[in-house]
Amino acid sequence: MKSATIGTFWFARFTAAATLFVATATPAMAERTFKEITVSGTGFPFASVVMTLSGPPSMDIVEGPPDEGEYRTHMMYSENGDAMMEKPRARELGIPFDGTPGPFNAITDVAGVEVGHTTLIEGQGDIVVGEGPVRTGVTAILPRGRTYDPVFAGWYSLNGNGEMTGTTWVEESGFLEGPVMITNTHSVGVVRDAVVDWQHTYSLYDPIVADIFWALPVVAETYDGGLNDINGFHVTREHAFSALDGATSGTIEEGGVGGGTGMVCHGFKGGIGTASRQLTNEEGGYTVGALVQANYGNRQLLTIAGIPVGRNVEGYERIFKLETREPPGTGSIIVVIATDAPLLPHQLKRLARRVPLGIARMGGIGSNGSGDIFVAFSTANPGAANRFEISDLKMLPNDAITPLLLATVEAVEEAIANALIAGETMVGINGNTVFGLPHDQVRAILREHNRLIE
């Protein structure tokens, strides 16, 4: 079944003869005919898409929040599996970026890399710990798909108010031996344990003797407790397995999906974003891809295409019902970098250390409350982790690495922009509301500064 994420709606009407179904990450909801979907960017402070199921289904934009029922989800299907709507991405809005992207402009442009999401969206109203509302999930990045062939890797932390498990062994061994998982802060443990179980279940390991097996999974987090019942521990082993088993190459869903479901970026709805860069043949023809879980940043510092967009957007201030002592800019960003260039661990750490330059282009500063943690891996040198034989390796000369460093900066910048552009207004616990970045205002601001491609 094909899928598409519902994006920003303008003043428009949609009708179709096919039955429409909601798809969410919870099996109980997977085939429920949907009623309403909250959207942003219509020109209203808050808007809904209302589905009528009497006769041929129709969909209308109306002012104001939905009255009842499942009021927000992120995917829609027709009965025959055809995509009904697609979100625009930053480039499609006319936002200019340097560099040449790959075919998907995603981390999956690096051959072999697969990405999967499990998205949990249930309930509304006041928080009841253990019951909801739930706005969270899990994202899985598999360097070589569902095979065991460790990749060279390096990691870096700009500001350590966060967690990425397994990095001490990445640092010591130079290898990433399994997937990279991203979830919410209080679900790191269950996701880590699930990865161990998943690798053992599918024999994705190289035993030392017989079936002696150990793993130190890499699991990262950002905090979604402003919208999600984070202390309800809603992410389970099954959700992690679902993200891993559902990982695919090609197009990646962005915005409020997977681990990014309840995340906020520069005061607007954030989440998952991805982008890639393709080097010229003279530079080696290599690909660099980035995937971010963006949950950081001060609205006043948000910069797009070099223009101070955040301070010039009118309205769309987030609504939190309870007072917060959280200083502006508190949050985190996790970044995963992939490349097919033959880089060794110390060179991959150099790529990871360039990630902050891409974040800075968007207005990030690595604030005290931010967990800014990055990992980079290379899919080159397959078989390098052989336990018993000497491996012949390829290594890119350091004098040829600069284009990859630049590609990393550019891909990270665009990935964050894509996360923001894909972000849709979300109502979470206690009616807390974070608005999607208004596309029309972004375009108007860039146009005013002659920075819009039209």
Catalytically annotated residues:
332, 370, 372
- As a three-state string, the secondary structure of the chain is CCCEECCCCCCCEEECCCCEEECCCCHHHCCCCCCEEEECCCCCCCEEEEEECCCCCEEEEEECCCCCCCCCCCEEEECCCCECCCCCCCHHHCCCCCCCCCCCCCHHHCCCCEEEEEEEEECCCCCECCCECEEEEEEEEEECECCCCCEEEEEEEEEECCCECCHHHHHHHCEECCCEEEEEHHHHHHHHHHHHHHHHHCCCCCCCCCCCCCCCCEEEEECCCCCCCHHHCCCCHHHHHHHHHCCECCCCCCECCHHHCCCEECCEECEEEEEEEECCHHHCCCEEEEEEEEEEECHHHCEECCEECHHHCCCCCCECCCCCCCCCEEEEEEEEEEECCCCCHHHHHHHHHHHHHHHHHCCCCCCCCEEEEEEEEECCCCCCCCCCCCCCCCCCCHHHCHHHHHHHHHHHHHHHHHHHHHCCCEECHHHCEECCCCHHHHHHHHHHCCCCCC
Q: Residues 392, 402: contact at Cβ < 8 Å?
A: no
First CA to last CA distance, the chain: 34
Rounded to 5 degrees, what are φ and ψ at 206? -120, 100
The tokens describing 341, both together, are 């260039």
Rounded to 5 degrees, what are φ and ψ at 395? -140, 130
Q: How far is CA 11 from CA 5, 20, 48, 147, 403, in A?
A: 18, 21, 11, 46, 43
* Amino acid in position 149: D
Other CB atoms within a 10 A radius of the CB of residue 318 amount to 17
Q: Return d(Cα 402, Cα 400) in angstroms, integer.
A: 6
